Amino acid sequence: MTSPAPNTVFELSPQLPLGVQRIELSTRPGTVGLLRQVTLLVDDQPIATFTRPPYRVLWGLQPGEHLATAVGVDDKGQRVVSDVVRFLVQESRQVELAR
């Protein structure tokens, strides 16, 4: 996984609707051969599947701790799995002052 970076903490904005708060999930091939297919997952749930680069998608933020991975199938039919990336999405800690 090239994005998000491991152990990144994202904070939800109270000024924006949850539906527009997104991050990029992305990966690129390492030393494996040609990839026929790549699936990006969050919490073991497929988010998007690609048959060619770029392997990236916008994912809607959801509060909590999450695990992102990429699973590919190479040109020999072998399954290739990325390292797991842990990241956190938390509610805003911003305190509004009374006027």
- Give this prediction's pTM: 0.87
- Res. 32 pLDDT band, cuts 50 70 90: low
**Domains observed in the chain:** 9-90 (2.60.40.10)
Assigned token pair, 24: 């990029």
Rounded CA separation 92/90 (Å): 6
Q: Where are the alpha helices (DSSP H) in 7-96?
A: none
* Res 61: pLDDT: 97
Rounded CA separation 71/57 (Å): 14
- Res. 80 pLDDT band, cuts 50 70 90: very high
- Res. 6 pLDDT band, cuts 50 70 90: very high
